[in-house]
Amino acid sequence: MPAPRTLFDKIWEDHSIRQEADGSTLLYIGRHLAHDGSYHAFNALKERGLPLHRPDLTFATPDHGVSTLSHRPEDIVDPVQRRVVDALEANASTHGFTLFGLNDSRQGIIHVVGPELGLTLPGLLLVCGDSHTSTHGALGALAFGIGASDVCHVFATQTLWQRKPRTMQVVVEGRRPDGVTAKDVILAIIARVGANGASGHVIEYAGSTIADMSIEERLTVCNMSIEAGARAGMIAPDQKTYDYLKGRPFAPTGRAWDDAEAYWRTLPSDPDARFDRQIVVEAASLEPMITWGTTPADVVGISGTIPDPLTLSDPSQRAAMMRSLEYMGLVPGTPVRNLTIDQVFIGSCTNARIEDLRAAALIARKGRAVVPAIVSPGSTPVKRQAEAEGLADIFLKAGFEWRESGCSMCCGMNGDLVGPGKRCASTSNRNFPGRQGVDSRTHLMSPAAAAAAALRGCITDPGEFGDQS
Amino acid sequence: MSPRPFTVLQAVAAPFDYPSVDTDQIIPVRYIRTPRAQGYETMLFRDLRFDPAGNERASFVLNRPGFRDAGVLVANTDFGTGSSREQAVWALVDYGIRCVIAVSFGDIFANNAVNHGLLLIREDAAMLTATRAMLDRSPGILIQVDLEAQKWHADCQAPRHFEIEPARKQRLLSGLDEIGLTERFRDDIQRFETDYRSRRSWLNIGSESRHPSVK
How many domains, chain A?
2
Helix (H) or strand (E) holding B151: strand B151-154
| Selection from A56, A204, A230 nearest residue A133 by Cα | A230
| Adjacent-strand bridge partners of A31 | A126
Domain end marker among A247, A277, A307: A277
Tens digit of pLDDT for each residue in A144-168?
Answer: 999 999 999 999 999 999 999 999 9
Given an 8 Å threshold on Cβ–Cβ distance, is B29 in contact with A435? yes
pLDDT for res B209 = 54
pLDDT for res B140 = 95
Q: Are strands A232-234 and A98-99 parallel, antiparallel or unpaired?
A: unpaired
| Selection from A156, A164, A122, A188 nearest residue A25 by Cα | A164
| Contact present, A126 and A30 (Cβ < 8 Å) | yes
Given an 8 Å threshold on Cβ–Cβ distance, is A103 in contact with B52? no
Q: Are strands B79-81 and A401-402 parallel, antiparallel or unpaired?
A: unpaired
Whether A273 and A335 map to the same domain: the answer is no
Given an 8 Å threshold on Cβ–Cβ distance, is A200 in contact with B107? yes
| Selection from A452, A456, A424 nearest residue A341 by Cα | A424
Across the A:B interface, residue pairs with CB atoms under 8 Å apart total: 210
Whether A351 and A313 map to the same domain: the answer is yes
Looking at the whole model, is its pTM more than 0.95? yes
A residues 327-386 lying closer than 8 A (beta carbon) to B: none
SS3 B51: coil
pLDDT for res B176 = 87
Minimum-distance CB partner of A81 among B33, B167, B213: B33
pLDDT for res A316 = 85
| Contact present, A209 and A179 (Cβ < 8 Å) | no
Whether A244 and A365 map to the same domain: the answer is no
Q: Which residues of chain B have pLDDT under 70?
A: 1, 206-209
Q: Give the best residue of A26, A128, A316, A321 to mutate against chain B (max B CB count within 10 A).
A: A316
Minimum-distance CB partner of A438 among B52, B205, B207: B52
Q: Is residue A115 assigned to a domain?
A: yes
pLDDT for res B4 = 86
CB contacts, 8 Å: B92 with chain A: none
Given an 8 Å threshold on Cβ–Cβ distance, is A256 in contact with B215? no
B156 to chain A nearest CA, in Å?
A: 24
> Distance between CA B141 and CA B155 in Å, rounded?
6
Q: Which of A227-231, A277-281, A312-316, B117-121 has the lowest mean pLDDT?
A: A312-316
Q: Is residue A30 assigned to a domain?
A: yes
| Contact present, A161 and B165 (Cβ < 8 Å) | no
Report chain A's C-alpha Rg in angstroms.
21
Tell me A450's DSSP state: H
What angle do the packed helices A110-117 and A380-388 form, to 10 degrees? 70
The amino acid at residue A319 is A
Q: Is residue A401 assigned to a domain?
A: yes
Q: Does A438 touch chain B (CB under 8 A)?
A: yes
CB contacts, 8 Å: A20 with chain B: 167
| Contact present, A390 and A357 (Cβ < 8 Å) | no
B residues 134-173 lying closer than 8 A (beta carbon) to A: 165-167, 170
pLDDT for res B156 = 84
pLDDT for res B206 = 66
Is the predicted pLDDT of residue A239 greater than 70, yes or no?
yes
Residues in chain B: 215
Q: Does B131 touch chain A (CB under 8 A)?
A: no
Whether A59 and A25 map to the same domain: the answer is yes
Range of the domain at A303: 291-465
Q: Is residue A139 assigned to a domain?
A: yes
Whether A218 and A318 map to the same domain: the answer is no
Domain end marker among A277, A303, A332: A277
Cβ neighbors of A64 (< 8 A, separation 6 or more) are A35, A36, A37, A406, A407, A411, A413, A414
Is the predicted pLDDT of residue A469 greater than 70, yes or no?
no
Is the predicted pLDDT of residue A194 greater than 90, yes or no?
yes
Q: Does A322 touch chain B (CB under 8 A)?
A: no
Phi, psi at residue A277, to the nearest 5°?
A: -140, 155
Q: Which of A72-76, A118-122, A221-225, A455-459 has the lowest mean pLDDT?
A: A72-76
Whether A210 and A315 map to the same domain: the answer is no
Q: Is residue A285 assigned to a domain?
A: no
Helix (H) or strand (E) holding A98: strand A98-99
> Distance between CA A424 and CA B25 in Å, rounded?
19
Q: ipTM of the predicted structure?
A: 0.96
Would you list the DSSP string of B168-211?
A: HHHHHHH---HHHHHHTTHHHHHHHHHHHHHHTGGG--S-SSPP
B120 to chain A nearest CA, in Å?
A: 15
| Selection from A183, A174, A212, A210 nearest residue A462 by Cα | A183
CB contacts, 8 Å: B116 with chain A: 149
Sorted by where each starts, the structural domains of chain B and their CATH numbers stand as: 8-175 (3.20.19.10)
Domain end marker among A248, A277, A306: A277
Q: What is the mean pLDDT of residues A97-117?
A: 97
pLDDT for res A467 = 66
* CATH code of A422's domain: 3.30.499.10
pLDDT for res A468 = 55
A residues 378-407 lying closer than 8 A (beta carbon) to B: none
Q: Does A294 touch chain B (CB under 8 A)?
A: yes
Given an 8 Å threshold on Cβ–Cβ distance, is A411 in contact with B36? no
Whether A227 and A83 map to the same domain: the answer is yes
Minimum-distance CB partner of B84 among A84, A147, A430: A147
What angle do the packed helices A354-364 and A447-456 form, to 10 degrees? 30
Q: What is the mean pLDDT of residues A73-83?
A: 94
Q: Is residue A283 assigned to a domain?
A: no
pLDDT for res B214 = 85
Residues in chain A: 469
Whether A271 and A295 map to the same domain: the answer is no
Q: Is residue A3 assigned to a domain?
A: no
Judged by phi (left if over 0) then psi (alpha if -120 to 50, else beta), residue A466 lies in left
Q: Is residue A150 assigned to a domain?
A: yes
Whether A239 and A320 map to the same domain: the answer is no
Whether A265 and A321 map to the same domain: the answer is no
pLDDT for res A466 = 80
> Distance between CA A461 and CA A439 in Å, rounded?
26
Tens digit of pLDDT for each residue in A277-304?
Answer: 999 999 999 999 999 999 999 999 999 9
CB contacts, 8 Å: A97 with chain B: 210
CB contacts, 8 Å: B82 with chain A: 131, 226-227, 430, 432
Whether A31 and A142 map to the same domain: the answer is yes
> Distance between CA A301 and CA A121 in Å, rounded?
34
Is the predicted pLDDT of residue A354 greater than 70, yes or no?
yes
Q: Does B126 touch chain A (CB under 8 A)?
A: no
Whether A206 and A81 map to the same domain: the answer is yes
| Alpha helix (H) residue ranges in A171-271 | 182-193, 208-212, 215-223, 239-245, 254-264
